[in-house]
Chain A
Amino acid sequence: MKRIEAIIRPERLGQVAALLESAGIHGFTITDVRGHGTSPQATGEYRGHQYQMLVAHKLLVSVFVEDDELDTAIAAIAGGATTGKAGDGFVAVSEVTATYRISTGAVEPITS
């Protein structure tokens, strides 16, 4: 089992969710995050002075998938999140050693 963490533009969440759904991957978690990456910092203007936005608003999308779903899921996220410009974000994959479902009340390994 794998955990996919993707940093994406907030406005691309709808596309990412739709592509994941159509690829048969149900369920994801998002977190509002702010980050400092390679894309140029936005410049603000306030009362006649300019300032730089140190961080930009992004979403962190977490998806847990079986090993054989990994490529489909990454393709779905990348396909939905891309605009072709700097600041589209990135995807990281890590190994998950075990998962448990809480609602059963018992600590049971999830098997697919």
Chain B
Amino acid sequence: MLRLLVISLFAAALLAPAMFRRQRRRAGLKAGELTPVFRKRLLVMTLVSSMLLVGALAGVAVADNGDPTGAKTGISPTQVESVYPADTAKPDAISTIATQQSKDHMAINFVWLMVGGILVLFMQAGFALVETGFTRAKNAAHTMLMNLVIFALGVVGWFVCGYALMFGSVALPGLGITALGPEAHIGQWGVIAHSGFFLTGHAYDVGILAFFFFQLVFMDATATIPTGAMAERFKFSAFICWGLFASMILYPVYGNWVWGGGFLAQLGALGPKWGHGAADFAGSGVVHAMGGVAAFWGAKILGARIGKFDKRGNPRAIPGHHLPMAVLGTMVLLVGWMGFNGASTFAATDFRFTVVIVNTILASAFGCLVTMFIMWKKYGKPDPSMTCNGLLAGLVAITAPCAFVAPWAAALIGAIAGGIVVFGVWVVESKAKVDDPVGAVAVHGFNGIWGLVALGLFADGTYGDGWNGVAGGVKGLFYGDAGQLWAQLASVVVLLAWCSLASGLFFVIVKKTIGLRSSEADEIAGLDMPEMGALAYPDFLEAQGSVFFTTDGAMPVDLVPTDAASLREEVGAQ
């Protein structure tokens, strides 16, 4: 059937030039001459047909010879002899080989986990560049330092109690990890782990420390997301409190419920109505939606930057000072994400990681293009800033489902994410009237939730046998398991409730006590000098708050309206 389709597509591609020749003759044009309309059509037809061809060919290949789980990939028993010569067949030699083989097995897993963790660690640089590029030069030192210090705060918080609360009860035979202690339960439901504070107990262990590091860098991603949404007005002392709160309490609690053996992971025990329980492969929910939802409440409770909204509440553009920096940061995040998702198999011997990486790439590309074309169509220009957000949106959305879905579904999930991020930015700015300079809520919040839901829709059952202790592959609604979707929706509801409650309460308490926001005078001057004591760009006068845009918050922007109507209103319109 597919072969027939491929052949007919080939035929169509061959016939296309002849068809165009006929049209050309009808239009009275010479050979080789094309009207612009024909040229455009030819281009579109060529593009579409070549994509279809490639898709169809790929479909044939996968249907016949694919090995989506990696079960068939590897050395067959008949090949073993060529690797290990016959004279090693003595019992002690066999046990030596077996020991060495199992160490090699672990070694390759540890290496993959460490390489992945190091890639994710570098995402801190990506976040720093994106956030600083999207904000103004007068706050650049402040925004960069938040991104550096959140790393250090996160490490401290994770060391003190974050890891213990989230993963204290986790055992992972694949990495040689036994549980540090039990999970605390209410009835049958796990609520929190509580072993391994300050890496005590038997945490002084190669496997546990490998896992500690890998999970540490994920937590740091969550902690750094709200700093973008709250940039340019977040008081530095309040930010310090946030870093510790996020790494010690906010992140580990929900994380334990999904990844640490808590009640969301246990939902599958209720029966097939709940699929495998809440599944989140690399953290669309645990990492990104948590960061995005906290970013929303942080930015809301903090209030908008001076000048972001005009008197009627309409949002204004406050252009970021360094788009190349932001684009570079987006590329750094893209590369880091290969480790984020790819190494979340925790094992290089789980060959599924190649599927994960390709799915991640596909979603990012489709997210990027869809956002770019939407912006281009809607506002006339591709918009570099939003295109960056689109790529990140695709990455965030595929993070939960990346191991469970087929490549075509990953592309679709990314494409939808590209639409959601445009919608999200509009909702946050124009409807909720929340000022999010970098689009963190739309990228991480909206698309993190979409990622969790997408898993419940598109998971195809080829992976995840035994996930959360439930037999059989993880299947979404479109593959016949509505239960998985229910479990995903339950985890979304719990996430929204916990994150809103905990982060909202935290920000309100900080606001009432030490204060959440920099003073108005400091904000107008730029936070670099008042809060950091150093300018990011001391040699560039223009970076110190001179005004190039009629919307720049460097001066009291309410006096500098953007449109003629409000200008007349402001000056009295005599």
Closest-by-CB residue of A relative to B386 is A47
Query: Is residue A18 contacting chain B, with contact meaning CB distance below 8 A?
Result: no
**Judging by beta carbons under 8 Å apart, are A48 and B426 in contact?**
yes
Known: A34-B548, A44-B549, A46-B385. A51 touches B319 (CB 8 A): yes
Chain A residues contacting B378 (CB-CB under 8 Å) are 48
**Judging by beta carbons under 8 Å apart, are B550 and A51 in contact?**
yes
One digit per residue, 1 when the CB lies within 8 angstroms of any chain A CB and 0 when it does not, for chain B 475-499 equals 0000000000000000000000000
**Judging by beta carbons under 8 Å apart, are B383 and A45 in contact?**
yes
Query: Is residue A49 contacting chain B, with contact meaning CB distance below 8 A?
Result: yes
A44–B315 Cα gap in the complex (Å)?
Answer: 15
Chain A residues contacting B320 (CB-CB under 8 Å) are 46
**Judging by beta carbons under 8 Å apart, are A44 and B317 in contact?**
yes
Chain B residues contacting A54 (CB-CB under 8 Å) are 547-550, 560
| Chain B 527-570 residues near chain A, CB threshold 8 A | 547-551, 560, 562
**Judging by beta carbons under 8 Å apart, are B547 and A49 in contact?**
no
Query: Is residue A91 contacting chain B, with contact meaning CB distance below 8 A?
Result: no
Chain B residues contacting A41 (CB-CB under 8 Å) are 550
Q: Give the Cβ gap from B540 to chain A, nearest Cβ, in Å.
A: 11
Q: Give the Cβ gap from B241 to chain A, nearest Cβ, in Å.
A: 29
Determine chain A's interface SS by DSSP, over half rule: strand
Chain B residues contacting A47 (CB-CB under 8 Å) are 317, 383, 385-386, 425, 439
A48–B382 Cα gap in the complex (Å)?
Answer: 10
Query: Is residue A55 contacting chain B, with contact meaning CB distance below 8 A?
Result: yes
**Judging by beta carbons under 8 Å apart, are A49 and B317 in contact?**
yes
Query: Is residue B204 contacting chain A, with contact meaning CB distance below 8 A?
Result: no
Chain A residues contacting B429 (CB-CB under 8 Å) are 48
Query: Is residue A50 contacting chain B, with contact meaning CB distance below 8 A?
Result: yes
One digit per residue, 1 when the CB lies within 8 angstroms of any chain B CB and 0 when it does not, for chain A 53-97 equals 111000000000000000000000000000000000000000000
A54–B551 Cα gap in the complex (Å)?
Answer: 9
One digit per residue, 1 when the CB lies within 8 angstroms of any chain A CB and 0 when it does not, for chain B 401-441 equals 00000000000000000000010011001000000000100
Query: Is residue B380 contacting chain A, with contact meaning CB distance below 8 A?
Result: yes
Query: Is residue B106 contacting chain A, with contact meaning CB distance below 8 A?
Result: no
Chain A residues contacting B425 (CB-CB under 8 Å) are 47-48
**Judging by beta carbons under 8 Å apart, are A46 and B319 in contact?**
yes
- Partner pick for B379 among A45, A51, A52, A55, CB 8 A cutoff: A45
Query: Is residue B375 contacting chain A, with contact meaning CB distance below 8 A?
Result: yes
| Chain B 283-326 residues near chain A, CB threshold 8 A | 315-320
Chain A residues contacting B318 (CB-CB under 8 Å) are 46
**Judging by beta carbons under 8 Å apart, are B317 and A55 in contact?**
no
**Judging by beta carbons under 8 Å apart, are B316 and A51 in contact?**
yes
A13–B425 Cα gap in the complex (Å)?
Answer: 42
A55–B316 Cα gap in the complex (Å)?
Answer: 18
Q: Give the Cβ gap from B301 to chain A, nearest Cβ, in Å.
A: 22
One digit per residue, 1 when the CB lies within 8 angstroms of any chain B CB and 0 when it does not, for chain A 14-46 equals 000000000000000000001000000100111
Chain B residues contacting A53 (CB-CB under 8 Å) are 548-550
Q: Give the Cβ gap from B403 to chain A, nearest Cβ, in Å.
A: 32
Chain A residues contacting B379 (CB-CB under 8 Å) are 45, 48, 50
A74–B139 Cα gap in the complex (Å)?
Answer: 43
**Judging by beta carbons under 8 Å apart, are A51 and B315 in contact?**
no
A87–B379 Cα gap in the complex (Å)?
Answer: 26
Chain B residues contacting A34 (CB-CB under 8 Å) are 548
One digit per residue, 1 when the CB lies within 8 angstroms of any chain B CB and 0 when it does not, for chain A 86-111 equals 00000000000000000000000000
Query: Is residue B103 contacting chain A, with contact meaning CB distance below 8 A?
Result: no
Q: Give the Cβ gap from A60 to chain B, nearest Cβ, in Å.
A: 15
- Partner pick for A45 among B381, B439, B551, CB 8 A cutoff: B381
Most chain A beta-carbon neighbours within 10 Å: one of B316, B320, B547, B549: B549
Closest-by-CB residue of B relative to A34 is B548
- Partner pick for B380 among A45, A46, A49, A52, CB 8 A cutoff: A45
Chain A residues contacting B319 (CB-CB under 8 Å) are 44, 46, 51
- Partner pick for B383 among A48, A51, A52, A55, CB 8 A cutoff: A48
A40–B319 Cα gap in the complex (Å)?
Answer: 20
A41–B317 Cα gap in the complex (Å)?
Answer: 16
- Partner pick for B550 among A45, A46, A48, A52, CB 8 A cutoff: A52
Q: Give the Cβ gap from B362 to chain A, nearest Cβ, in Å.
A: 25
A41–B318 Cα gap in the complex (Å)?
Answer: 17
A52–B319 Cα gap in the complex (Å)?
Answer: 11
Closest-by-CB residue of B relative to A57 is B548
**Judging by beta carbons under 8 Å apart, are B549 and A52 in contact?**
yes
A52–B557 Cα gap in the complex (Å)?
Answer: 13
Q: Give the Cβ gap from B420 to chain A, nearest Cβ, in Å.
A: 15
Closest-by-CB residue of A relative to B547 is A54
| Chain B 373-391 residues near chain A, CB threshold 8 A | 375, 378-381, 383, 385-386
- Partner pick for A52 among B375, B381, B386, B562, CB 8 A cutoff: B562
A45–B315 Cα gap in the complex (Å)?
Answer: 13
A10–B324 Cα gap in the complex (Å)?
Answer: 22
Most chain A beta-carbon neighbours within 10 Å: one of B315, B378, B551: B551
Chain A residues contacting B547 (CB-CB under 8 Å) are 54-55
Chain B residues contacting A50 (CB-CB under 8 Å) are 317, 379, 562
A46–B326 Cα gap in the complex (Å)?
Answer: 13
Chain B residues contacting A48 (CB-CB under 8 Å) are 375, 378-379, 383, 386, 422, 425-426, 429
Q: Give the Cβ gap from A22 to chain B, nearest Cβ, in Å.
A: 34
Closest-by-CB residue of B relative to A32 is B542
Q: Give the Cβ gap from A41 to chain B, nearest Cβ, in Å.
A: 8
A69–B316 Cα gap in the complex (Å)?
Answer: 50
Q: Give the Cβ gap from A40 to chain B, nearest Cβ, in Å.
A: 13
A54–B546 Cα gap in the complex (Å)?
Answer: 11
A53–B319 Cα gap in the complex (Å)?
Answer: 11
A47–B386 Cα gap in the complex (Å)?
Answer: 6
Chain B residues contacting A52 (CB-CB under 8 Å) are 549-551, 562
| Chain B 351-385 residues near chain A, CB threshold 8 A | 375, 378-381, 383, 385
Chain A residues contacting B380 (CB-CB under 8 Å) are 45
A interface, CB within 8 angstroms of B: 34, 41, 44-55
The 5 closest A-B pairs by CB, nearest first: A49-B317, A46-B317, A51-B317, A46-B319, A52-B550
- Kindly list 4 other residue pairs between chains A and B, CB separation below 8 angstroms, not including A52-B562, A54-B549, A55-B547: A46-B317, A46-B319, A48-B378, A50-B379
- A-B pairs with beta carbons under 8 Å apart, 8 shown: A44-B317, A44-B549, A46-B319, A46-B383, A48-B375, A51-B319, A51-B550, A52-B550
